[in-house]
Each structure stands twice: as structure tokens, then as C-alpha cells.
Amino acid sequence: MVTARDFVQARLYENEDEVVQDALRYLLRERPDLRIGLAVYRYQAEELSLTRAAALAGVSWAQMKQLLLERGIQPHLGPETVEEAEEEAAVLHRHFGDRP
């Protein structure tokens, strides 16, 4: 069995973390099903927006929305209440101030 340490000892990588990161990038590039599964998981955990989940999955925003719906996950497409909308507006106003 080959280990991450073998690559470091062969001086192909600086450390084991680099080996793992490179292997994960390759795995996600070669396995679109895993990219989509990871994007769905991270979206559900509310770590990612719909747009970022779509980018991770390698699909369009509309495709990501459809993938979520097919899995029984309701996409979060904006504030659900007036209070949430007001809070979002307040956050944006604090961030951007009176910029044109």
C-alpha cells in the first residue's frame, strides 16, 4: 500500500498535507459525482451559498438548484420573512454605507 509519507520521502512533495490536497483535487476533478455530493452536503450544512455550491459541483446555478430539488432539498433563495429582509438590508447598508 502506498502512503502519503512515501511521496514525501521520495521528495515528490514537501509534506503529507500537500499529497493529500493534490489527491483530493484530482479525485474531485475525476469524479463529478463526488463533487456534486460534496457541494450538496456543504450547501445543507449552510456553509455555502447556492452559487458557491454550484461552482464546487461544476454546474450552473440553475442545475444546482435542480439537483437540490431532486434530492428533496429546498434551496434557500432569499429571506423568508420581512424581518429577515430588513436584517439583510441593514447588513448591506452597514457594509456599503452611502456609496453610490
The residue type at 53: A
pLDDT digits (tens, 9 = 90+) for 17-68: 999 999 999 999 999 999 999 999 999 998 788 889 999 999 999 999 999 9
The C-alpha atoms of residue 54 and residue 63 are separated, in whole angstroms, by 8
pLDDT digits (tens, 9 = 90+) for 84-98: 677 777 777 777 776
The C-alpha atoms of residue 60 and residue 79 are separated, in whole angstroms, by 22
The residue type at 94: R
Assess whether pLDDT exceeds 70 at residue 99: no
73 or 80, higher pLDDT: 73
The C-alpha atoms of residue 71 and residue 40 are separated, in whole angstroms, by 9
| Model confidence, pTM | 0.68
Domain segments of the chain: what residues? 1-30
Q: For residue 49, give the DSSP letter.
A: -
Q: What pLDDT is stored for residue 10 in this prediction?
A: 98
